[in-house]
Amino acid sequence: MIGAILHKDAKPLGPDVPTEISKLISKCLRKDRDERYQTIKDVGNDLREVKQELELKNLMERTASPNKPEPQTQILKATTLDEINQTTTNQTVASNPKTKYLAAGLLTLLLAAGGFFGYRYLSGSNTKQINSIAVMPFENRNSDADTDYLSDGLAESVIFRLTQIPDLRVSPTSSVMRYKGASTDVAKIAGELGVDAVMTGRLTKRGDNLNVTVELVDARTNKSLWGEQYERKLSELLTTQREIVTEIVGKLQLKLSGESEQKLAKKYTDNNEAYQLYLQGRYHWNKRQIPEFEKAIVFFKQAIEKDPNYALAYSGLADTYALFPNRGDFRPKEYMPQAKAAALKALELDPNLAEAHASLAESIKTMNMTLQVQKEHSNGRSNLIRITDLLINGMPNY
């Protein structure tokens, strides 16, 4: 869907539509912005030329068969944005199917082009391309800790998806989480994080119903690029985050390679329950405390039970096991093999999953560091025993 919107050309119009109008519409819909009309004045100039050509052709057809009586009709008046309140002179033309297409097509094109380019002009479309973005933690309007995993997790999922785009720099979750609960000053946040755009969101849960409101702001101009409100069931959370990402990519007018399109459209799971359990696992993992790690393991395992092919859940499990030593629980023989096994399983399911590669690297690094610390601790203990023995039994004579 994303690739079709951004890169695939529109289907050609029917054979009955005049070539001149088809060319105009095609130019308006070009995917490359440099190939499209740049100003409403350019559209108006081409429209006038097309109108003159069509009128001339129609006159020649009438002149070629002057004795053939034909019913008369009146052409629709055309108006361009730079000729407000001025209309063309009423002219009569032959009433045939082609003429109807000319009049309807010309009017439709004029209205569409006027609205499109008028919007571009008023919204400051000449602003430089946005190359960086920060997705803020969504505000939990319930003020309920049990719903935090949804607001935090939805934002983190959007961040994860956007990181699949090579030409877009996305502030990591670790950088934006410090703004959770703080007042949203877009300009200040953008300045501190060094980004062009900021996306904010609010989430409200009522029973099984979700209300998600999002807004994308160009921090350089403080103009809203896009805003949307989603009324969804909790069971549609997975679909909602995909819709949000699709809209962001479209509004930023990002050019995606074929590989990026595939990564962005990839479905890591179709099981909404598994997805919610994964979000809960990540929520507790982000707490960085051993009791929270134990909760995270439970949720990741439950997500895997719902979807045994959920590579991200295995990656989360590996990340959790690998962090135990960093929080003072030095039991490498218990945790490190499990961390490595979970990371390898994630890679088996998805060899191209960057998170799984990072999980494996982290588990190996943590294992090596833990073993080194234990070795040094063992050597230090041996030295301490030796020193104590010397102090008790006396130093040797040299």
Residue at which a domain ends, from 54, 89, 122:
122
Note whether 245 and 321 are same-domain residues: no
Residue at which a domain ends, from 102, 122, 142:
122
C-alpha gyration radius of the chain? 32
- In-domain check, residue 395: no
CA-CA distances (angstroms) from residue 5 to 84, 158, 210, 261? 32, 19, 27, 11
Note whether 37 and 140 are same-domain residues: no
What are 164-200's pLDDT values in tens digits? 898 899 999 989 999 988 877 899 999 999 999 999 9
- In-domain check, residue 231: yes
Question: What is the model's pLDDT at position 253?
Answer: 86
More confident residue, 77 or 206: 206
pLDDT class of 396 with cuts at 50, 70, 90: very low
Note whether 115 and 137 are same-domain residues: no
Question: What is the model's pLDDT at position 337?
Answer: 86
Domain that holds residue 93: 2-122
Cβ atoms of 339 and 322 within 8 Å: the answer is: yes
Tell me the mean pLDDT in the region 268-294: 94
Question: What is the model's pLDDT at position 7?
Answer: 57
Note whether 54 and 176 are same-domain residues: no
Note whether 235 and 156 are same-domain residues: yes
pLDDT class of 48 with cuts at 50, 70, 90: confident
Note whether 254 and 315 are same-domain residues: no
- In-domain check, residue 388: no
Note whether 147 and 235 are same-domain residues: yes
Note whether 213 and 163 are same-domain residues: yes
- In-domain check, residue 392: no
Note whether 190 and 301 are same-domain residues: no
Note whether 145 and 247 are same-domain residues: yes
Query: Helices (DSSP H) in 227-271: which residue ranges?
Result: 237-251, 258-265
Note whether 109 and 181 are same-domain residues: no
Cβ atoms of 338 and 321 within 8 Å: the answer is: yes
- In-domain check, residue 32: yes
Question: For the chain, how many structural domains are there in total?
Answer: 3
Q: pTM above 0.85?
A: no
Token readout for 135 is: 């997705």
Cβ atoms of 160 and 244 within 8 Å: the answer is: no
Question: What is the model's pLDDT at position 335?
Answer: 80
pLDDT class of 385 with cuts at 50, 70, 90: low
Cβ atoms of 216 and 134 within 8 Å: the answer is: no
Lowest mean pLDDT among 15-29, 146-160, 290-304, 337-351: 15-29
- Could you give phi then psi for residue 88, rounded to 5 degrees? -75, 160
Strands 223-233 and 197-206: unpaired
- In-domain check, residue 153: yes
pLDDT class of 316 with cuts at 50, 70, 90: very high
Token readout for 325 is: 């030593």
pLDDT class of 19 with cuts at 50, 70, 90: confident
Note whether 62 and 95 are same-domain residues: yes
Q: Check whether 278 has a pLDDT greater than 60.
A: yes
More confident residue, 78 or 251: 251
| CATH number of the structural domain spanning residue 157 | 3.40.50.10070
Q: Check whether 330 has a pLDDT greater than 90.
A: no
| CATH number of the structural domain spanning residue 353 | 1.25.40.10
- In-domain check, residue 361: yes
Token readout for 362 is: 């982290």
Q: Check whether 228 has a pLDDT greater than 90.
A: yes
Cβ atoms of 204 and 211 within 8 Å: the answer is: yes
Residue at which a domain ends, from 219, 234, 265:
265
> How far does Cα 378 stand from its chain's mean position?
50
Q: How far apart are CA 276 and CA 235, in angstroms?
A: 9
- In-domain check, residue 394: no
Q: Which positions ≥6 away from 293 have C-beta within 8 Å?
A: 284, 285, 320, 323, 324, 327
